[in-house]
């Protein structure tokens, strides 16, 4: 009995030694790069891709010498973990290094910065600059009705619904999934109880709120003037006056690279608030949270007009006579400065 137990212990020791020997030598081989070349290759691992498929992809791209060695290293050292994403790999990396990078998720990220006041066209340019998607692809998606309905947007485009912030995109995610994440940032903020309650008090729906907030965003250069500008718009709406906002005219004409002309103010579009009563068809940019809050909480003043001082600030007036006086003062000054 004792002898049999000793034999079993001996065999277990031998097997353990053999396994350890094989494992150590496998890891030694796995630490040797496949090639000396440092040319990088982009490897995209989609969500749900199996470890076996990843090993076959790496072998096919000549990044690892043996898919079995990659499988062994990944399972032994990282429990087979591979984070989905786009990886920059080269044959000069060892199997151990590649397995570690993929387990740690050291993938390539693309940075998209949506600035307050960006409209769909500037977001499209930023998306292309960031190498996330061509501008045309983004614009097509932003007007895709099926995508808009799926995202809970009752409008004809994404204009106004993209929360300004810095976002990190990884290519294992599709563009529509990435954009939906950004949209939900806006909708979550608007769907908060206090915001919803105030919208009801102001008789504004989501689209109207974002339209008004976008106008405030484009008109206000100073944060402290946002609630004053909001008050002017609310007061004009209450008096059934046209809103007379230059940025809406510019948006309707899509003439972002030239100065506004008098003939433009008479051109009929769905965004010309000189010719229309009430809000434009929709938002004209993506507003910040402070602009959304300004739209909901205008300053308690009875101003009806404002004109730029040409330095980022505005003069606010209650009467047309007072307004015309300031228009003459600051337009003359603007002409002299030019």
> Does 37 have pLDDT greater than 50?
yes
H helix and E strand count, the chain: 15, 6
Least confident stretch, 10-14, 139-143, 288-292, 324-328: 10-14
**What average pLDDT does the segment 83-105 reach?**
93
* pLDDT band per the 50, 70, 90 thresholds, residue 2: low
Among 76-80, 202-206, 280-284, name the one with the lowest average pLDDT. 76-80
CB 150 within 8 A of CB 158: no
320: left (phi over 0), alpha (psi -120 to 50) or beta: alpha
Find the largest Cα–Cα distance for the chain: 114
Provide φ and ψ at 43, rounded to 5°. Answer: -120, 120
In whole angstroms, give the CA distance from residue 17 to residue 12. Answer: 8
3-state helix, strand, coil in the chain (%, to 5): 55, 10, 40
| Core vs surface per residue 113-137: b (16+ CB within 10 A) or e | ebebbbbbbbbbebbeeeebbebee
The predicted model gives 219-246 an average pLDDT of 96
d(CA 334, CA 62): 65
Q: Please state, in angstroms and rounded to a whole number, the distance separating the CA atoms of residues 238 and 230.
A: 12
Average pLDDT of 139-155? 95
Q: Look at residue 296 and give its three-state secondary structure.
A: helix
In the structure, what pLDDT confidence band is assigned to residue 40 with cuts at 50, 70 and 90? Answer: confident
Range in 35-49, 51-65, 229-243 the model is least confident about: 35-49
Tell me the pTM.
0.83
Provide mean pLDDT across the span 202-226: 97
Bridge partners (DSSP) of residue 316 are 306
pLDDT of 330: 85
For the record, the structure tokens of 306 come out as 């404002």
**Whether pLDDT at 92 is above 70:** yes
Written as six digits, the tokens of 221 are: 């250069």
For the chain, the average pLDDT equals 89
What is d(CA 66, CA 56) in angstroms, rounded to the nearest whole number? 9
pLDDT at 336 over 60: no
Residue 28 reports pLDDT greater than 70: no
Q: What is the mean pLDDT of residues 155-177?
A: 95
SS (H, E, C) 134-171: CHHHHHHHHCCHHHHHHCCCCCCCCCCCCCCEEEEECC
* Residue in this structure with the two tokens 């049999």, named with its chain if needed: 4
Residue 270 has pLDDT above 50, yes or no: yes
Asked if pLDDT for residue 9 goes beyond 70, the answer is: no
pLDDT band at 21 (very low <50, low <70, confident <90, very high): very low
pLDDT at residue 296 above 70?
A: yes
Domains delineated in the chain: 29-104 (3.30.1490.480), 110-190 (no CATH), 194-303 (no CATH)
Rounded to an integer, what distance in angstroms lies between the CA atom of residue 27 and that of residue 20?
10
Q: Which residue has the tokens 């529509």?
A: 176
């Amino acid at each position: 009995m004792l002898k049999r137990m000793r034999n079993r212990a001996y065999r277990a020791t031998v097997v353990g030694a053999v396994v350890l020997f094989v494992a150590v030598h496998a890891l030694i081989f796995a630490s040797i790069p496949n090639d000396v070349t440092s040319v990088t290759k982009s490897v995209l691992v989609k969500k749900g891709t199996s470890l076996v498929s990843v090993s076959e992809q790496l072998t096919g791209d000549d990044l690892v010498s043996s898919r079995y060695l990659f499988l062994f290293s990944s399972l032994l050292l990282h429990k087979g973990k591979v984070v989905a994403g786009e990886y920059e790999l080269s044959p000069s990396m060892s199997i151990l290094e590649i397995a570690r990078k993929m387990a740690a998720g050291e993938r390539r990220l693309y940075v998209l910065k949506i600035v307050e006041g960006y409209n769909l066209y500037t977001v499209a340019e930023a998306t292309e600059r960031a190498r996330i998607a061509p501008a045309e692809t983004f614009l097509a998606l932003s007007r895709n009705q099926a995508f808009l309905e799926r995202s809970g947007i009752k409008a004809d485009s994404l204009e106004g619904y993209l929360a300004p912030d810095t976002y990190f995109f990884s290519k294992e995610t599709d563009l529509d999934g990435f954009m939906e994440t950004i949209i939900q940032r806006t909708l979550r903020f608007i769907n908060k109880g206090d915001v919803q309650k105030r919208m009801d008090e102001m008789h504004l729906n989501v689209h109207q709120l974002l339209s008004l907030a976008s106008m405030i965003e484009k008109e206000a250069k100073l944060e402290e003037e946002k609630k004053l500008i909001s008050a002017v718009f609310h007061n004009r709406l209450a008096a059934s006056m046209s809103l007379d906002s230059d940025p809406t005219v510019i948006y309707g004409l899509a003439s972002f690279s030239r100065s506004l002309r008098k003939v433009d103010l008479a051109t009929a579009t769905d965004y010309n608030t000189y010719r229309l009563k009430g809000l434009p068809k929709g938002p004209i940019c993506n507003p910040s949270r402070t602009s959304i809050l300004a739209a909901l909480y205008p300053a308690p003043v009875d101003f009806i007009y404002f004109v730029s001082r040409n330095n980022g600030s505005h003069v606010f007036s209650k009467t047309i006579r007072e307004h015309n006086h300031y228009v003459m003062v600051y337009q003359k000054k603007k002409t002299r400065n030019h």
